[in-house]
């Protein structure tokens, strides 16, 4: 993936090495959160959805703004900032064409654990988007897991992960996330899971739209990049994660979609570059 000459986003917070206020969660406490994180990691469940039911102390943390990045000091952080910049440029153009203004997400780099408006996040839960503060959170060690545990190496696979989380931000801006969340609250468990799958698959499709539009504008793709992205989408399908984690698959508990579904919708966005083709709420 050609990224070195790209614009680095200024909307990156580097919280790596910063202390975490462990008392930030009450009620169930840290033990409850660790159970939530384990469920999210092994069952493929969106941790931001699970953490909605964990009480959070509303007392704000001390105002200590996270430092930005020093360009050139950390190539992996530079890569993440550049990919975020690409998402900003592509979605700004898409929103402009639709007569709207795109409001960029912020991205938080952390190590080990991090405080968010959705609760305490830990590295084991993988990257996540918190709609309450409109921020994407990622521990860069996840990319080692993506390469080694999930067998999905490559820089474009890493970019897909960021683009998927930004896809959730787009859903938040469009009101889709709130619409689906209201429907999930009124639904039974099986239907609620199915709605979550539709939301996740749309984020996959939006990631493909990003790749299409960025390639058109910046020519970032190299030979093998598309295959890397498709491999990453396949690697984190619910069926594959469940088979790896517990040895059997229960489709009714899917929250992100099967490997085949995730590949299909990422490819749909990649081939069309049209967000209108990502209507997973009415089509699967």
| H/E stretch holding 121 | strand 119-122
- Cα–Cα distance between 236 and 40 in angstroms, integer? 12
Does the reported pTM lie above 0.85? no
> How crowded is residue 123: how many other Cβ atoms within 10 Å of its Cβ?
20
- Say if residue 144's pLDDT is above 70: yes
User: 3-class DSSP state for residue 14?
Assistant: strand
The residue among 241 and 279 whose pLDDT is bigger is 279
Of the two residues 43 and 219, the one the predictor is more confident about is 219
In angstroms, rounded to a whole number, what is the distance separating the alpha carbons of residues 172 and 150?
Answer: 28
Q: Which of 102, 215, 108 is nearest to 169 (CA)?
A: 102
Could you read off the pLDDT of 270-284 as tens digits, one per residue? 999 999 999 998 876
Residue-wise pLDDT for 90-109, tens only, equals 999 999 999 999 999 999 99
User: What is the structure's pLDDT at 198?
Assistant: 94
Q: Please tell me the distance from the alpha carbon of residue 52 to that of residue 209, in angstroms, as a whole number.
A: 29
Give the confidence band of 71 by pLDDT, cuts at 50, 70, 90. low
Confidence grade of residue 38 (pLDDT, cut at 50, 70, 90): very low
Average pLDDT over residues 157-166: 95
pLDDT value at 34 more than 90: no
Q: What is the residue whose two structure tokens read 């009415």?
A: 282
């Amino acid at each position: 993936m050609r990224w070195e000459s790209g614009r680095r986003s200024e909307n990156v917070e580097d919280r790596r090495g910063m202390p975490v206020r462990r008392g930030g969660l009450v009620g169930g406490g840290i033990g409850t959160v660790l159970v939530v994180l384990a469920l999210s990691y092994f069952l493929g469940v969106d941790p931001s959805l699970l953490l909605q039911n964990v009480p959070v102390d509303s007392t704000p943390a001390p105002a200590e703004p996270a430092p930005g990045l020093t360009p050139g000091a950390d190539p992996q952080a530079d890569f993440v900032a550049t990919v975020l910049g690409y998402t900003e440029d592509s979605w700004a153009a898409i929103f402009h064409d639709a007569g709207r203004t795109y409001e960029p997400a912020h991205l938080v780099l952390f190590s080990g654990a991090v405080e968010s408006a959705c609760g305490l996040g830990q590295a084991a839960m993988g990257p996540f988007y918190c709609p309450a503060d409109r921020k994407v959170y990622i521990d860069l060690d996840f990319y080692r897991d993506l390469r080694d545990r999930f067998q999905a190496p490559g820089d474009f696979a890493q970019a897909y992960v960021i683009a998927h989380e930004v896809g959730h931000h787009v859903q938040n801006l469009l009101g889709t996330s709130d619409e689906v969340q209201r429907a999930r609250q009124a639904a039974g468990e099986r239907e609620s899971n199915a709605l979550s799958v539709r939301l996740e698959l749309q984020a996959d499709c939006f990631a493909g739209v990003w790749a299409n539009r960025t390639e058109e504008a910046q020519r970032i793709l190299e030979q093998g990049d598309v295959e890397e992205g498709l491999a990453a989408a396949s690697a984190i399908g619910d069926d594959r994660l469940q088979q790896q984690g517990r040895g059997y698959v229960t489709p009714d508990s899917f929250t992100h979609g099967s490997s085949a579904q995730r590949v299909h919708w990422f490819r749909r966005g990649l081939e069309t570059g049209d967000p209108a083709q990502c209507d997973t709420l009415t089509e699967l």
